[in-house]
Amino acid sequence: MARVIASACVNRLIALLSARSTSARLALAIAGLFLLAYLLLGAGLYYAVSQIFAQDLHEVIRLDSADLVEMYRESGHAGLATEISERTASPDDDNAVYELIGPGGKLLAGQFATLPADVRNGDGWTEFDERNADGVVRVVAKLQKLGDGSKLLTGRRSRNQQRFEVLVQRTSFYALLAAAGLGGLIGWITARWVAHRLESTYDITRRVGAGELALRIPEDDSDDSFDRLAKRINAMLDRIQELLDGVRHVTDHIAHDLRTPLTRLRNRLEEMRTEHVHAEQFTAELDAATAETDQLLATFSALLRLTRIEAQTAGANDPELAMQPLVLDAVELYAPIASEGGIVLDAQTVPCTLRGDADQLFQLVANLLDNALKYATRGTRVTLHLFDDGDAIYLIIGDHGAGIPAVDRERVFDRFVRLEEHRGSQGSGLGLSLVRAIAHRHGGSITLEDNSPGLRVRVRLPRAVVR
C-alpha cells in the first residue's frame, strides 16, 4: 500500500514538473515549501529527542561507573571483580554491560569474550557494535582507569534508542507521504483559487482586446495584490480609452475646424480661374489664399509640435536655465500688442532656476500671454507673477476678460477645443494643449482659476535640484 501511495505521489510530482502553467508551478512551489517545512521540523524534533536519549544514557552510565569505582576503593580489585561477575550472572538490567580489563588488556571479568583492541586500549567514552542473537546492537560505554592499572568498562546497550530510531523512520516515511499528499492538495487548492481570482482579469482583457473598451476589472477594495493589479490595469485602460477618445476628437475637430478655411481657399482659387479680374483684385485674392494656406500650415505645425512634446519625458539631464529672462523676453515681445489694445501688462518676477527646454518654456509663456491679451478688454490689466516658494516655481497670469466657465476649464486643454463664443476669432485651438503638454513634459502642472472677473492661469514647475 505504501509503495502504491509513494508511486502515485511521484507520478503526480512528475506531472507537475512537466506542466508549464503558472498554476501548476504555484502548486508545486507550495507543496515543496510545505514538505521542506515538514522535513526541517521533523529533523529538528528527531535531533532534539535523540540528544535527550543520549544524555539520559550517559547519565545512567556515569552514575553506574561512579558506583563501581567507589566499590573498588572500598573492596579492592577482588571485590570489584566479584561484583561484576555477580551482575553479569544475574543482571538487573539486560542492557547493562560490564567488563574488567587487566593492565595488559586481558578481560578479567564481565560478559564479553572479546573486545576490539581500540576499546581495550582506549579511555573515556566509547561506542562499539556487539553481535548477538538479536543481531547487531550498539553499545555506549565509559572506560575508567583504576589505581592498579586495570580498566573498568561500564556501559549500556542502546536497544531502546535503536527501537526509537526505527519507529521514527517508519513513522516519518508515512508522515512524509501524508505531508506530500496534503502539500499537493493545499498547493492545488491555492493554485485554483489564484486562477479563479484571475479569471475575471483574463476575460476582461480578452474582451477589451476584442474592442469592448468600456469594460473594467472588478475591484473589491481589499488592497491585496489582486486588487492593486486590477486598479493598475483599470488605470491603464482608462488612459488607453482617453488617448483613443483624444484621437477621435482630434479627427472630428480637424474635419470641423479645417473644412471652412479649405472651402474658402478652394472657392477663391475657383473664382480666380473662372473670372477675369484686375491685377489688384488678383493680387488681393492671392494674398488671401496665401494667408489661408499659412494658417493651415501653422495649425499642422502646432499639431506636430504638440505630438512631439507629448512623446517626450522629463529628463534629469536637461540643462539648468534661468526662468526670469525667458519670461521678461516674452513680456517685452507682447508689450507693444498690449499697448496697442489699451491693456496694461504688469509683470513681477524674481530669479528662478529650473531644468528644461528654453524654447518650449518660452512658448508656454508666450501662449499664455497671447491668450490673456486676446480676451482681455480695453482699459484692463493683465498681470504676470513669477516666484519661487521654496518647493516649486509658480507662473501666474491673470486677465479681466470674459473668463472660462468652470465646467469648461478642463475641456479647453483638449486639442482643437474652442468655446463657441471664440470660434470666430483667429487661432487653431491648440494653444492651451501645447501649454499643458509643455508643463507635463517638465514635470509640472497647470490649473485654470476664476480671477473675478476673468481667468487666472497657475503653472507649477519643479525647481532645479541643487547638486
Question: What local confidence, expressed as pLDDT, does residue 5 receive?
Answer: 41
Ranges 58-67, 84-93, 148-157, 438-447, most confident:
438-447
Across 84-92, average pLDDT: 76
Q: Residue 380: which pLDDT band, with cuts at 50, 70 and 90?
A: very high
Q: Residue 460: which pLDDT band, with cuts at 50, 70 and 90?
A: very high
Residues 406-426: b if buried by 16+ CB within 10 A, e if exposed: eeebeebbbbbbbeeebeeee
Instruction: Name the average pLDDT for the chain.
Output: 78
Secondary structure element (H or E) that encloses residue 349, with its range:
strand 344-349
- Higher model confidence: residue 436 or residue 131? 436
Give the separation between CA 277 and CA 83, rounded to whole angstroms: 149
Task: Convert the pLDDT of each residue in 281-332 to its tens digit.
Answer: 667 767 777 777 777 777 777 777 777 777 666 665 778 899 999 999 999 9
**DSSP secondary structure letter of residue 122:** -
With 50 as the cut, is the pLDDT of residue 79 above it?
Answer: yes
Give the separation between CA 65 and CA 49, rounded to whole angstroms: 24
Task: Convert the pLDDT of each residue in 124-177 to its tens digit.
Answer: 887 777 777 667 777 788 888 887 778 888 888 877 777 777 777 777 777 777
- Higher model confidence: residue 158 or residue 441? 441
Which DSSP string corresponds to 404-461?
--GGGTTGGGSTT---GGGTTSS--S-HHHHHHHHHHHTT-EEEEEE-SSSEEEEEEE
Q: Residue 350: which pLDDT band, with cuts at 50, 70 and 90?
A: very high
Interstrand relation of 381-388 and 344-349 (parallel, antiparallel or unpaired):
parallel
Cis peptide before 453 (omega within 30 of 0): yes
With 70 as the cut, is the pLDDT of residue 383 above it?
Answer: yes
The CATH superfamily holding the domain 2-181 is PAS domain (3.30.450.20)
Residues of the chain with CATH 3.30.450.20: 2-181
3-class secondary structure, 393: strand
Residues of the chain with CATH 3.30.565.10: 320-462
Evaluate whether 272 touches 287 at the Cβ level (below 8 Å).
Answer: no
Q: Residue 373: which pLDDT band, with cuts at 50, 70 and 90?
A: very high
Q: Give the type of residue at 39.
A: L
| 320-462 is a CATH 3.30.565.10 domain | yes
Residue located via cell numbers 563501581: 68
Give the separation between CA 236 and CA 1, rounded to whole angstroms: 55
3-class secondary structure, 61: helix
Which DSSP string corresponds to 209-230?
HTT-TT------S--SHHHHHH
